[in-house]
Structure 1
Amino acid sequence: MADDFMKTYLHDYLKDVRQAVLAKVDGLSEYDARRPLTMTGTNLLGLIKHLAIWEARYFGAVFDRPFPEPLPRWDVESERLATMWATEHESRADVIDRYRRVREHSDATIDALALDAPGHVEWWPDPEVKLFDVLVHMLAETSRHAGHADILREEVDGAVGADAESMARKRHDADFWAARRATIEQVARAADSAGNGVNR
């Protein structure tokens, strides 16, 4: 009984976080959905592609329930790095549709197996795992990338929130946020000048 509750709780949380990631490309141009926004090239559509590929692997082959579409190799660096961005031949719809198919496949695995069902993650130092381990790992990984997506989307157009409705709702104007940013900048400079918490 407790295991069923825990599995449902973790699974529902994963479903919510997945939706939050998808919402971050709503209303964006192709360019803004794909453009690199960090030194390493992190971008919104690439995060979705990356999450789809790794979720397909974790809830697929790890439990001997392989996702029925080809996946790039995890042990070849060039293929692994290519999971972080969409090519010009991969449409946004293609990337999002694949994530939806992966989610359906993953959900079927999660629904079919008990939390203590065994799996094998060959790229982990301790490869013998349970569904619980992988569910927690994918929830943490998806949440981590959802946080990246929050920051990237804010950088693109200032939209914040976990869904399209909250991102569209403007609570404050640009002047409010400029003033807030200036205040935080001033405090950061004052703290630096004062030497608070210095590691020099």
Structure 2
Amino acid sequence: MWRCGLGLLTLYRRACKHSDDTIDELAFDTPGTVPHWPAERRTTTLGVLLIRMVDETARHAGHADICRELIDGEGQADKDEMWDAEHWRDYVDRIQPAAQAFRN
């Protein structure tokens, strides 16, 4: 499993380098296509793709943060500055049923 994770990080770094090189070399209005998108939306630009990737990255980072919260039981990084332990217990009690509904 460790090797699988290492391979994933290597692939991620290669993808980041490719993205950085593409952004450096092309204008935001450079046309492109995404073959697996529906035909009517397939033609796009680098700028649109970058906006989509920012959204996707934020969304998946949020998913990862939710998983981390489930593992360690902690909320956001500044949780101790915002609310006390009782507030967080109440918060978890309110959202836990919703999380459980999607578990299966």
User: Could you say which residue in structure 1 is the equivalent of 2:57?
Assistant: 142
In 2, the alpha carbon distance for the partners of 1:181 and 1:123 equals: 43
2:1 matched to 1:94?
no
Give the residue type in structure 1 aligned to 2:67. L
Structure 2 CA distance for partners of 1:105 and 1:160, relative to 1, 3 Å: farther
TM-score under structure 2 length normalisation: 0.69
* Structure 1 residue 171 displacement after superposition: 6.5
TM-score under structure 1 length normalisation: 0.39
Q: List alignment gaps of at least 5 residues for structure 1.
A: 1-87, 189-200
Measured on the aligned residues, the alpha-carbon RMSD in Å equals: 2.6
Q: Which has the higher contact order (CA 8 A, sep 6+)?
A: 1
Instruction: Give CA-to-partner distance per residue, 1:89-139, whole Å, 9 cap, x none.
Output: 743222112211110111101111101101111121211110011001111
Q: SS of the residue aligned with 1:91?
A: helix
Across the two proteins, how many residue pairs are aligned to each other?
A: 89
Give the residue type in structure 1 aligned to 2:55. A
Structure 2 CA distance for partners of 1:182 and 1:111, relative to 1, 3 Å: same
2:84 matched to 1:180?
no
Q: Which structure is higher in helix share?
A: 2
* Structure 1 residue 142 displacement after superposition: 0.7
In 1, the alpha carbon distance for the partners of 2:25 and 2:74 equals: 38
Instruction: Give CA-to-partner distance per residue, 1:30-67, whole Å, 9 cap, x none.
Output: xxxxxxxxxxxxxxxxxxxxxxxxxxxxxxxxxxxxxx
Q: List alignment gaps of at least 5 residues for structure 2.
A: 95-104
Pick aligned residue for 2:42 from 124, 127, 149: 127
2:23 matched to 1:116?
no
Give the residue type in structure 2 aligned to 1:114. A
In 1, the alpha carbon distance for the partners of 2:56 and 2:70 equals: 21
* Aligned sequence identity (%): 38
Structure 2 CA distance for partners of 1:114 and 1:92, relative to 1, 3 Å: same
Give the residue type in structure 1 aligned to 2:66. I
Structure 2 CA distance for partners of 1:185 and 1:153, relative to 1, 3 Å: closer
Q: SS of the residue aligned with 2:37?
A: coil
Give the residue type in structure 1 aligned to 2:50. L
In 1, the alpha carbon distance for the partners of 2:29 and 2:88 equals: 47
